[in-house]
């Protein structure tokens, strides 16, 4: 019994250590992603070409979010590990080749169809008011042959659709490397996407007009090149772990069918957030500028989701899949509960921090160049609402992983379909019926449905695997909320003092200090509170840092 307890503790420490590595890599990528958004805000007006770019990017990016961080990688990991354990390593490599080749063929078809039907897709998602942009009317010389934002959005959609193909290759590579316990390189891969899109996007702003091409074309080209680099950077690591490409394809292989079975109906099951984001597009194009504000607010929230939610989920899934395959239900429950506690420990204070600092963060990141105060206020209001759902957004990933480890997709599919339907109904009431004609209504409906989705799935998972000890989470939640409330108050007070001292100053230094000084002080206060309240999971995080520093 003592050895078993030590084994579980060692597994938990391994999850924490690996999650730390992934968090650092994902954090670097997401920060570069924010830099790209800052560049878009600096060069392109929110009610003009930025709106068109965000609408165009949403379409392939919707599929990227599912394939890149969702169903393809998760379905592959669980099936690959089961194949390796039951049929041997050679069979697992054959599966990898077959999935890679099948993915290539299917996504080439989807890409061709996406390019062909881009005008119809954009027309369905865009609304009449989407083109009522003051920036578009007052800058006719910068249209470069496009008579409306919708025309520009169609052009950009067709240009960026091939990105889906390469990022899906990257997702398969990520699943393969994660299955082999390699997390660092896959987590860093998206960094190359953001570096490429940022560099090429800025270069394109200056070079494209010389060729009489719309300057935002550079951003679209950067997206494609970035997708290619995101895959290629993982190829050497794939070779080192034993993968050798072979032109194998089979639709009758039972393991391939198992992956397909997991992917097919799971589009809604594991991608409720992405499906909600896409369906929301129809409602947030009601007014010009809304789409840009929501995209920028979500990009900020994407940082803590990536650092905490994606990192913990990425590391936990292979462990959960191994335990489920081996029939170690008790260890599965322990590992899942630990990952969930770790998620709550990090996301609750992060959400409160975003709420308190929403306006200074948005001002620091976006209010430069052609972006104005109106854009900052609109984006900050949406970020404040999004922050309420940070815990639900992140926790949903690990809860869905619990079902995926058991290759059970029925419950996630049913619950997520209901959540998406509820989201559409709420948006219809808020926007179409005029109950709450505000972009915050769209975000609120998403936050509400995702959180409900997470709660329902968690209760269903507990029925499936037995008691997860959720009752013991109540004292932990009270401790985390108490510590986070103190941290939030300190952040609010610190930012207020700084803003009063530098009232009217708009330089980068006061803006930076106004954001990072409260964050640094808040984190120190939070750490002190966690130690005072004796939260063991925080001690595990500190031990990982001590080991890293010791090395």
Q: Yes or no: say if 67 and 76 are a contact pair by the CB < 8 Å rule.
A: no
Please report the pLDDT score of residue 115 as a whole number: 92
Residues 6+ apart with CB under 8 A from 513: 498, 502
* CA–CA distance, 372 with 363 (Å, rounded to integer): 9
* CA–CA distance, 73 with 263 (Å, rounded to integer): 10
Quick one: the chain helix, strand, coil %, rounded to 5?
A: 85, 0, 15
> Helices 163-179 & 311-325, crossing angle to 10 degrees?
50
* CA–CA distance, 306 with 23 (Å, rounded to integer): 7
How many other CB atoms sit within 10 Å of the CB of residue 236?
9
- CA dist 337 to 396, 422, 531, Å? 13, 29, 21
Please report the pLDDT score of residue 276 as a whole number: 67
Per-residue confidence in pLDDT tens, the chain, 551 aa = 445 444 555 555 555 555 555 666 667 777 887 888 888 888 887 777 888 888 888 888 777 766 555 556 666 777 877 888 888 888 888 888 888 888 888 889 989 998 999 888 888 777 655 665 444 444 443 567 777 788 888 999 999 999 888 888 887 788 778 777 777 777 777 788 888 888 998 998 899 888 888 888 999 999 999 889 988 998 998 888 888 888 888 878 888 887 777 666 555 555 556 666 667 776 776 566 677 888 888 888 878 877 776 667 666 667 777 788 778 888 888 888 888 888 888 889 999 999 999 999 988 888 877 777 888 888 899 999 999 888 888 888 788 878 877 777 778 878 888 888 888 888 778 776 655 567 788 888 888 888 898 889 888 888 888 777 777 778 888 999 999 999 999 999 998 888 776 654 567 788 888 888 999 999 999 999 998 988 877 777 777 556 555 54
Q: Yes or no: say if 36 and 201 are a contact pair by the CB < 8 Å rule.
A: yes
Please report the pLDDT score of residue 26 as a whole number: 67
- CA dist 448 to 65, 179, 353, 429, 458, Å? 20, 33, 19, 14, 16
Q: Yes or no: say if 405 and 317 are a contact pair by the CB < 8 Å rule.
A: yes
* CA–CA distance, 291 with 296 (Å, rounded to integer): 9
* CA–CA distance, 312 with 344 (Å, rounded to integer): 11
* CA–CA distance, 242 with 261 (Å, rounded to integer): 26
Please report the pLDDT score of residue 491 as a whole number: 92
Give the DSSP H/E element, type plus range, for residue 270.
Answer: none
Please report the pLDDT score of residue 116 as a whole number: 93
**DSSP H stretches of helix in 406-472:** 410-427, 439-465
For residue 307, give the DSSP letter.
Answer: I
Give the distance, in angstroms, between the CA of residue 517 and the centroid of all CA atoms in the same chain: 26
- Largest Cα separation within the chain, whole Å, is 75
* CA–CA distance, 468 with 409 (Å, rounded to integer): 19
Residues 6+ apart with CB under 8 A from 404: 74, 75, 78, 262, 270, 317, 320, 321
Please report the pLDDT score of residue 372 as a whole number: 76
* CA–CA distance, 6 with 31 (Å, rounded to integer): 37
Residues 6+ apart with CB under 8 A from 117: none
Q: Yes or no: say if 66 and 412 are a contact pair by the CB < 8 Å rule.
A: no
For residue 469, give the DSSP letter.
Answer: -
pTM score over 0.85: no
Residues 6+ apart with CB under 8 A from 457: 396, 399, 400, 403, 411, 412, 415
């Amino acid at each position: 019994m003592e050895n078993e307890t030590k084994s579980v503790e060692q597994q938990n420490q391994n999850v924490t250590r690996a999650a730390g590595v992934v968090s650092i890599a994902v954090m670097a990528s997401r920060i570069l992603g924010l830099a790209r958004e800052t560049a878009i805000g600096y060069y392109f007006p929110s009610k003009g070409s930025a709106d068109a770019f965000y609408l165009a990017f949403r379409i392939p990016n919707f599929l990227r979010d599912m394939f890149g961080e969702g169903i393809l990688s998760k379905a592959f990991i669980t099936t690959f590990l089961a194949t390796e354990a039951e049929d041997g390593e050679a069979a697992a490599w054959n599966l990898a080749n077959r999935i890679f080749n099948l993915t290539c063929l299917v996504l080439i078809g989807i890409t061709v169809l996406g390019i062909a039907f881009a005008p119809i897709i954009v027309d369905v998602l865009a609304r009449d008011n989407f083109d009522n942009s003051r920036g578009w009317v007052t800058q006719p010389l910068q249209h470069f042959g496009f008579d409306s934002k919708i025309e520009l959005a169609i052009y950009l959609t067709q240009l960026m659709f091939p990105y889906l193909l390469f990022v899906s290759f990257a997702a398969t590579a990520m699943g393969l490397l994660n299955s082999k316990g390699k997390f660092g390189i896959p987590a860093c891969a998206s960094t190359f996407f953001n570096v490429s899109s940022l560099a090429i996007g800025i270069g394109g702003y200056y070079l494209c007009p010389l060729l009489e091409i719309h300057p935002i074309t550079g951003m679209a080209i950067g997206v494609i090149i970035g997708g290619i680099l995101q895959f290629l950077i993982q190829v050497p690591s794939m070779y080192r772990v034993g993968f050798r490409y072979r032109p194998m394809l089979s639709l009758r292989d039972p393991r391939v069918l198992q992956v397909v079975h997991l992917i097919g109906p799971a589009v809604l099951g594991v991608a409720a957030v992405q499906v909600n984001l896409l369906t929301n597009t129809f409602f947030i194009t009601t007014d010009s500028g809304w789409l840009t504000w929501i995209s920028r607010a979500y990009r900020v929230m994407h940082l803590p989701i990536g650092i905490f939610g994606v990192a913990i989920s990425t590391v936990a899934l292979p462990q959960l899949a191994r335990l489920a395959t081996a029939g170690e239900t008790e260890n599965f429950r322990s590992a899942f509960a630990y990952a969930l506690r770790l998620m709550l420990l990090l996301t609750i204070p992060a959400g409160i921090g975003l709420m308190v600092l929403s306006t200074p963060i948005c001002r620091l990141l976006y209010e430069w160049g052609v972006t104005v105060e109106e854009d900052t206020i609109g984006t900050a209001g949406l970020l404040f609402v999004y922050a309420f759902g940070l815990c639900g957004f992140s926790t949903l990933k690990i809860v869905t992983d619990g079902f995926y480890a058991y290759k059970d997709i029925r419950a996630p599919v049913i619950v997520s379909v209901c959540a998406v339907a509820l989201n559409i109904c709420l948006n219809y009431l808020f926007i179409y019926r005029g109950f709450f004609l505000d972009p915050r209504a769209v975000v609120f409906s998403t936050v509400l449905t995702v959180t409900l989705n997470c709660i329902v799935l968690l209760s269903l998972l507990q029925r499936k695997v037995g008691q997860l000890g959720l009752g013991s989470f109540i004292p932990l939640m009270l401790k985390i909320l108490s510590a986070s409330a103190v941290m939030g108050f300190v952040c609010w007070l610190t930012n207020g003092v700084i803003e009063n001292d530098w009232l009217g100053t708009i330089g980068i230094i006061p803006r930076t200090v106004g954001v990072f000084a409260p964050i640094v002080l808040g984190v120190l206060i939070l750490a002190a509170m966690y130690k005072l309240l004796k939260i063991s999971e925080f001690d595990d995080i500190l031990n990982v840092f001590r080991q890293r520093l010791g090395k």
